[in-house]
Amino acid sequence: MSEVIFHNTLTRKTEAIQPRDGNLVGMYCCGPTVYDHAHIGNFRTFLSQDVMRRTLQVAGYKVLHVRNLTDVDDKTIKRSRDEGKPLATVTEHWTRVFHEDCARLNLLPPQIEPKATDHIQEQIDMIKSLLEKGHAYATPDGSVYFRVSSFDEYGKLSRIADRELTTTAADASPNDSDEYDRDSMADFVMWKSRKEEDGDVYWDSPWGEGRPGWHLECSAMAMKYLGKNLDIHSGGEDLVFPHHENEIAQSECCCDTEFFRYWIHCAHLLVDGGKMSKSLGNFYTVDAIEEKGFAPVTLRYALTAGAYRQTINFTLDSLHAAQSALARLRRFSDAILAAAGLKRAALLKAIDKGKHVDDEWGPFAPSWKSLSNDLNIPGALGSIFTVLKETDISNLDPAQASAIAISFHKLIFALGYNLDQVILEKPKVEAPEEIQALAQQRWEAKQAKDWAAADQFRDELLAKGWKILDSKDGYTIDQI
């Protein structure tokens, strides 16, 4: 097993991952709210998490990946009411669309994908326990709030205290919205009493009809599925506060133990220098990028080629650069596999199953060092391309080619590029002299109006794998 280092938001340091349970890493990622297409910003985060997981696998860890589906909140309920359809019909439709997009972008499916609505009882149980311990209180309308002032360590993730904000109780300033609120340290809602706009979306509870608040679902599901493996918790940077801060407060107060150890956050994606918005017409989805003629692997490259902790600005131009970089990777992959007598799909499958876990990186050692050091993908790609430039495949014997093919494809697996999606333009090959001579004879026969001879030469060329394209004043020869 080799070392993998990530930046931990909790400690503000880069740290080597040390899972609680030997070589099994529990990894919880906050998943999508399923009420619409996920946009390419969401996918920047999901892709970074996918590269994290793949990198851990290549380093020799087993990863238990849990990513939830938020299928009840203000937005999903609004959508179901606007469309006059049951909540489950709407969320199941958008879950299917999300899964299709994930498959096209070559995201490994999480082993567990729990839905908030399937875990209402677990969330109610947590609230009960927090009430018993005095960390929560019910309000007269039948809602329940977490008492922020009851947890001394509140703010340890986001360092919100540094922003000198004051704590407000819910009865003074209730904060029961599912939307993010970045500037208030108010007590937050864990159980929302039923409101008229919720329609028929409600559950019974000891506090009356209602539904859980958004922060609670991730705490309940993470503890249920990763109870002994609370290692990595991850999301976009917007989730640091209040979502993850609140998850820590609820969970640590409920269980009196440390919640996750490593908190990893991805910076946001901007489009054309600003926030994505439907009204500006720059709200891109995977479909929209494909409609512009780019394969999903090209989008994957463009979204992951920058450092995940830095904001990136997406432009359509970045897709052209991605396309040519991927073509170089594909050509090298084809050539090195041919020299090694290996097949791409079988090799990648073996890597996924943990077959080539070793520290043999050969010329790709600097690339792995970059990747395993807080996912320095720009550094890794830079050194991969240096190796590609310096490697003369024709000089390698099969054993050398095989070693290079394996380490190269371990990196391709970690980066998750589906090279089969890369479309290569056929390189122009100059016709050999014999073919050029035949083509010239055909041209002369044609000029002399000897059609039979011209046809014969044409057929001979076709049989040898070449075709002639005539133009007004000449001809060109192309390989079939």
- Inter-residue contact 170 to 187 (CB < 8 Å): yes
For the CA atoms of 178, 182, 185, 188, the dihedral, rounded to the nearest 10 degrees, stands at: 10
Give φ, ψ of 4 to 5 degrees. Answer: -125, 130
Binding status of residue 30 toward Zn ion by CB under 5 A = yes
Return the SS3 of 212. strand
Our finding on whether 175 is near ligand AMP (CB under 6 A) is no
Q: How far is the CB of 42 from ligand AMP (least distance, A)?
A: 4
Give yes or no for a contact between 175 and 188, defined as CB atoms under 8 angstroms apart: yes
Residue 468 in the binding site for ligand AMP (CB under 6 A) = no
- Choosing from 33, 55, 91, 205, the residue that interacts with ligand AMP (CB under 6 A) is 33
Residue from 30, 322, 405, 435 in contact with ligand AMP (CB under 6 A): 30
Interface map 265-284 toward ligand AMP (x if CB under 6 A): -x-xx---------------
C-beta closer to Zn ion: residue 30 or 406: 30
- Residue with Cβ nearer ligand AMP (25 or 40): 40
Torsion of CA 68, 71, 76, 79, to 10 degrees: 120
The reply to whether 114 sits near ligand AMP by the rule CB under 6 A is: no
x/- map, 219-248, ligand AMP, by CB under 6 A: ----------------xx-xx---------
Stretch that binds Zn ion, among 196-204, 214-222, 305-313, 468-476 (CB under 5 A): 214-222
**Is the Cβ of residue 47 or residue 240 nearer to Zn ion in the bound state?**
240
Q: Which of residues 286-315 bind ligand AMP (CB under 6 A)?
A: none
Return all residues near 137 (Cβ < 8 A) that are at least 6 apart.
Answer: 131, 144, 145, 147
Q: Which of 10, 51, 218, 286 binds Zn ion (CB under 5 A)?
A: 218
CA angle 281–285–286, rounded 5-degree value: 145
102 CB-side CA count, 13 A: 19
Q: Please report, for residues 199, 332, 430, 453, the alpha-carbon distance to residue 426 in angstroms, rounded to integers and kept in the order given.
A: 58, 15, 12, 31
3-state secondary structure of 146: strand
45 binds, among Zn ion, ligand AMP, none (CB under 5 to 8 A by kind): ligand AMP
Question: How far is the C-alpha of 49 from the C-alpha of 182, rounded, in Å?
Answer: 23
Nearest residue to ligand AMP, scored by beta-carbon proximity: 236
| Among 24-32, 135-143, 260-268, 459-467, the segment contacting Zn ion (CB under 5 A) | 24-32
Q: Which does 296 bind (CB under 5 to 8 A by kind): ligand AMP, Zn ion, none?
A: none
Out of ligand AMP, Zn ion, none, what residue 41 binds, judged by CB under 5 to 8 A for its kind, is ligand AMP
Are the CB atoms for 251 and 219 separated by under 8 Å? yes
Q: Which of 8, 9, 45, 323 binds ligand AMP (CB under 6 A)?
A: 45
Round to whole Å and give the CA distance between 324 and 328. Answer: 6
User: Does residue number 41 form part of the binding site for ligand AMP (CB under 6 A)?
Assistant: yes
Q: Which one of 93-101, 211-219, 405-413, 462-470 is the stretch in contact with Zn ion (CB under 5 A)? A: 211-219
- Under a CB-based contact definition with an 8 Å cutoff, are residues 464 and 457 in contact? no
- Biggest CA-to-CA distance, the chain: 102
Residue numbers at the binding site for ligand AMP (CB under 6 A)? 30, 32-33, 41-42, 44-45, 235-236, 238-239, 266, 268-269
Residue numbers at the binding site for Zn ion (CB under 5 A)? 30, 218
